[in-house]
Amino acid sequence: MAALQETALSDILRERFVEDPILERPFEAATTYVHRGTPWKVSKHIEIMQRLTEKIRVDFEMVE
C-alpha cells in the first residue's frame, strides 16, 4: 500500500505491461476499443437507478 501512496496503480500496471512484450500487445489492443467520453444513453441508466433507489427506500421504510 505504501507504493500506491507515491505512484498511481495505473502507472505501475502500465510499466509492467511495457516491460513484458507478451502483455503489452493485448493491453494496447484492449485499450484501443475503450470509448472516450460519456456513454450513450447514460441518462436512462441514471433514471433506472433513481427509480430503484426510491423503491428500496419505500420498501425498507428508510427516511433521509
64 inside domain: no
CA torsion through residues 34, 32, 25, 15, sign:
negative
Per the structure, how many domains does the chain have?
1
26 inside domain: yes
State pTM to two decimals: 0.38
The whole-number pLDDT of residue 60 equals 92
Q: 12 near 5, Cβ under 8 Å?
A: no
39 inside domain: yes
The whole-number pLDDT of residue 34 equals 67
21 inside domain: yes
Name the pLDDT band for 17 (thresholds 50, 70, 90): confident
The whole-number pLDDT of residue 50 equals 92
Which domain, by its residues, includes 17? 2-59
Please report, for the chain, how many H helices and E strands are present, in that order.
4, 0
